[in-house]
Structure 1
Amino acid sequence: MRKNYFLFTLALLLNLGVFAQQVSFEEYDLDNGLHVILHQDNSAPVVTTAVMYHIGAKDEAKGRSGFAHFFEHLLFEGTENIERGKWFDIVSANGGSNNANTTQDRTYYYEVFPSNSLELGLWMESERMLHPIINQIGVDTQNEVVKEEKRQRVDNAPYGKIIYRTGVNKYIFKKHPYKNSVIGSMEDLDAAKLSEFIDFNHKYYNPNNAVLVVAGDIDVDKTKKMIQDYFGSIPNHSEKFVRTKIIEDPITEPIIATEYDSNIQIPLKALVYRTPGMKERDSYVLNYISTILTGGKSSRLYKKMVDDKKIALQVLAFADAQEDYGTYIMGALPLGDVTFEVLTKEMDEEIEKLQNELISDKELQKLKNQFENQFVNSNSSIQGIANSLARNYMLKGDTNLINKEIEIYQSITKEDIMRVAKTYLNKNQRLELDYLPESAKKDVK
């Protein structure tokens, strides 16, 4: 067993003068390649068991979109030792809760149990990894579940093409599979054969492509033994796969597009930019910029467009950094007969100010205070800590970012904000999207 240990203790949060408990953890690898992270906190009798697999929508084969998200559902069907349809019953009967979610980059499963049920959580996740039952009954059942989820969360969700990026990423990414949606195509899932689902499981759901996190009220030595007993002998069905890095060509002129949504009455003007992935320091700076523009009622765009000029019902600006690339989305909902041209002009003016004028010392300090508070809150629950540990290890390559990210935010300068705005938020590097009610399409005809 190959081991690396990290143990971190109470520390002062840099220059803000606020004490916050840093997250202590220990991490090591099993012989089969499974990475293990343990966090002990005996303050409450609760434990989270979680497994993150490095498989997301970006890894799907062409013509088989939606497989990663589908597997999130399929692997609750049952295993050789868990009867079909009984997964959630077992969890709830033992006072626990569980869930899972999928992104472009990873799939994450977790259970929260009273700490005396830790072994149950480990057994269930080892069952999911070792011998899930993948048969036609399960595939057909979950196919209908996924279709219903797509109808509810995407097709019938107001502004769903913005929220789930189905009306955005296809314009921003031309080569990278981020252009496809996480939920995928129902036609692709319908066309897939059972053997393809089995092959997908064998390729990606292996110990060497996963991280196991156990966080909460645990005895470390006893937990290590249980982990070895339940996970140590699980074989890898295939060699650890290596991704091919896909490089997008720069966007050099505006992309003009229109999308329609039958679930809205109020249109939206969106400006979308391609930005760096989550490992890059500039992605943190973009989070600062989002807060400057629309982080609350005192933010620049909200105060200007909603309060003072009363030309917008709502404004938005947020960075969505993923493993390989990110997107930065700005938008505004017009008030009354205000045109998209007016909204775009006002948003561009605020971007240009960031590109040409340094923010004030007071504004910078406010940002640092806000993000310090967010950092403390993100580590306030065992469940949140488990998620952060897994994500930082798998997608960012540094588990200890759970403690160090605040240092990145505190190191950001006014000059950084100006530089990043100049680098990424330019008119010739963006998608200009008119997001309209379906009725507007009839008007055009």
Structure 2
Amino acid sequence: MKQLIITALTTIMVSVSVSAQQLKFTEYDLKNGLHVILHEDKSAPIVAVSVMYHVGSKDEDPRRTGFAHFFEHLLFEGTEHMKRGEFMKIVSSNGGQNNANTSQDRTFYYEIFPSNQLELGLWLESERMLHPKIDEVGVKTQNEVVKEEKRLRVDNSPYGKFTEKIFSNLFQGHPYSWQPIGSMAHLDEAKLSEFLTFFKKYYIPNNAVLVIAGDIDIHKSKALVEKYFSDIPAGPKVVKQVFELKPIKEQLIDTVYDANIQVPAIFAAYRIPNMESRDNKVMGMISSLLSAGGSSRLSMKLVDTKKTAVNVSAFSFDMEDHSAFITLALPNKNTPLNDLLKDIDAEVECLKIELISQKELKKLQNQFENNYVSVNSKMIGLAENLANGYTFKNKQTNAINEELKIIQSISAEEIRSVAQKYLNHNERVILYYLPQK
């Protein structure tokens, strides 16, 4: 017991220390436009090397959806100086881990290495940027990989199509209306020249940010960055297209039938501001208030007290242009879906009328602070947050140090006001997700 108490106190002290300190970093641009962010942390002998390209499914031709996600896979195929399939082998044989992911707005590649392998990580990412292997063999290989991923994560996954259906209604007229996985038919129809054109347009140093975080020496790291990235030529400036969304003026209702489920579900989705906005942060707090943990409002009401739901949730899907706020519930004992929706709506209406208590507000602030400390205590989480700040917050990398100040400044009155502003029945999409017989 004594050891448990000591461990708990140590954890609290570390958390307070991390949250109170300003995260320090060095940032600058190479002549080719590559933005570089360096964070030194000697607490563990590891280093995270990451590159975020400001390209996602939003940047695709509507007739060629899935390209950004496809490149997430394709750029592991090898390079002029690396045999096909060797990328991951090189990483693992040198004690590292690597991965990548794609969203509507960006593609993120990273490696985590022992700190003595920093140069290897930089070489790998410079190879990926400068001369990757993009040919018919690689395209065909990764085409099959992506198809299998879609079968696994979407086609044959329970409730796997809910974002696709919700977004197609919520973001009509915007590229957010399709998912990053894209259309397999579009990928089948695409020519090699189209993939090469897409690469040359977006995967360039002046459309990317390189973040190195961990056990590094700033001066030596700068020299290595110069060595591996300075000779990569810049491309034409990427100009982002602006899309205007028509306001939703009446409730939209849709239905999905899914052979992979036995329990139906009901979703309600609202269009909310982009990830940069203060209102978006408030909506994040609202989602936590409604469904974060067993003591949240929706869980206590529908799962514990009334026992009408086996699962209930509310969450924000944050993106660069617009975001989505989604509630969902799965019924218990054949409870009608509309009854679940009425109970969720009642809790939302309560937020729009009554102020939350100071106790609830403090709990929310603590939850966000704990999450902030948890994410940024890992070098790859810290690297991604630094890259996000530069990429999506008007090149304000220091936004990472303002995050908690914003959360702590949000009041109960502001939570009520934001709920009133965005959570309205006539501005939402209702999705009935039903078993297919």
Displacement, 1:17?
9.8
> 5+ residue gaps in structure 1?
1-12, 440-445
Secondary structure at the aligned position of 1:168 is classed as: helix
Pairing 1:87-102 to 2, within 5 Å after superposition? 87-102=87-102
Q: Which residue of 2 aligns with 1:389?
A: 386
Pairing 1:34-433 to 2, within 5 Å after superposition? 34-162=34-162, 165-236=163-234, 238-397=235-394, 398-433=396-431
Secondary structure at the aligned position of 1:151 is classed as: helix
What does the per-residue CA deviation read over 1:311-358, in whole Å, with 9 as the maximum and x for residues that have no partner? 111101001110110000001111122112211111111111000111
Q: For the residues of structure 2 that align with 1:18 and 1:130, how far apart are their CA atoms?
A: 37
Larger mean CA deviation between 428-437 and 337-346 belongs to 337-346
Secondary structure at the aligned position of 2:133 is classed as: coil
Displacement, 1:377?
1.0
Secondary structure at the aligned position of 1:63 is classed as: coil
Q: For the residues of structure 1 that align with 2:48 and 2:383, how far apart are their CA atoms?
A: 7
TM-score computed with the length of structure 2 as normaliser: 0.95
Displacement, 1:18?
8.4
Contact 1:256–1:431 (Cα < 8 Å) also in 2 = yes
What does the per-residue CA deviation read over 1:104-152, in whole Å, with 9 as the maximum and x for residues that have no partner? 0000100111111111110110011011111000000000000001111
Aligned partner letter, 1:128: R
Contact 1:273–1:425 (Cα < 8 Å) also in 2 = yes
> 5+ residue gaps in structure 2?
1-12
Contact 2:316–2:324 (Cα < 8 Å) also in 1 = yes
What does the per-residue CA deviation read over 1:359-398, in whole Å, with 9 as the maximum and x for residues that have no partner? 1111111111111111111111111111111111112232
Q: For the residues of structure 1 that align with 2:85 and 2:125, how far apart are their CA atoms?
A: 16
Displacement, 1:22?
3.1
TM-score computed with the length of structure 1 as normaliser: 0.93
Secondary structure at the aligned position of 1:351 is classed as: helix
Contact 1:323–1:396 (Cα < 8 Å) also in 2 = no
Contact 1:40–1:215 (Cα < 8 Å) also in 2 = yes
What does the per-residue CA deviation read over 1:75-110, in whole Å, with 9 as the maximum and x for residues that have no partner? 000101011111111111111110000000000100
Superposition misfits of 4+ residues, deviation over 4 angstroms? 16-19
Contact 1:91–1:97 (Cα < 8 Å) also in 2 = yes
Note closer, same or farther for the CA distance 1:219–1:414 as it changes in structure 2 (3 Å cut): same
Contact 1:20–1:376 (Cα < 8 Å) also in 2 = no
Aligned partner letter, 1:306: V
Secondary structure at the aligned position of 1:70 is classed as: helix
- Equivalenced residue count is 422
Q: For the residues of structure 1 that align with 2:25 and 2:126, how far apart are their CA atoms?
A: 21
Secondary structure at the aligned position of 1:167 is classed as: helix
Q: Which residue of 2 aligns with 1:443?
A: none
Q: For the residues of structure 2 that align with 1:79 and 1:143, how far apart are their CA atoms?
A: 18
Secondary structure at the aligned position of 1:422 is classed as: helix
Q: For the residues of structure 2 that align with 1:21 and 1:97, how far apart are their CA atoms?
A: 29
Q: Which residue of 1 aligns with 2:9?
A: none
Contact 1:38–1:215 (Cα < 8 Å) also in 2 = yes
Q: For the residues of structure 2 that align with 1:276 and 1:131, how far apart are their CA atoms?
A: 38
Q: Which residue of 2 aligns with 1:10?
A: none
RMSD: 1.3
Secondary structure at the aligned position of 1:211 is classed as: strand
Displacement, 1:20?
3.7
Larger mean CA deviation between 48-57 and 243-252 belongs to 243-252
Q: For the residues of structure 1 that align with 2:101 and 2:285, how far apart are their CA atoms?
A: 26
What does the per-residue CA deviation read over 1:239-286, in whole Å, with 9 as the maximum and x for residues that have no partner? 112112112111110001001111111000111101100001001001
What does the per-residue CA deviation read over 1:212-261, in whole Å, with 9 as the maximum and x for residues that have no partner? 0111111111110111111001002x311211211211111000100111
Aligned partner letter, 1:353: C
Displacement, 1:30?
0.4
Q: For the residues of structure 1 that align with 2:43 and 2:370, how far apart are their CA atoms?
A: 22
Larger mean CA deviation between 396-405 and 48-57 belongs to 396-405
Contact 2:314–2:326 (Cα < 8 Å) also in 1 = yes
Q: Which residue of 1 aligns with 2:23?
A: 23
Secondary structure at the aligned position of 2:213 is classed as: strand
Secondary structure at the aligned position of 1:365 is classed as: helix
Note closer, same or farther for the CA distance 1:221–1:17 as it changes in structure 2 (3 Å cut): closer
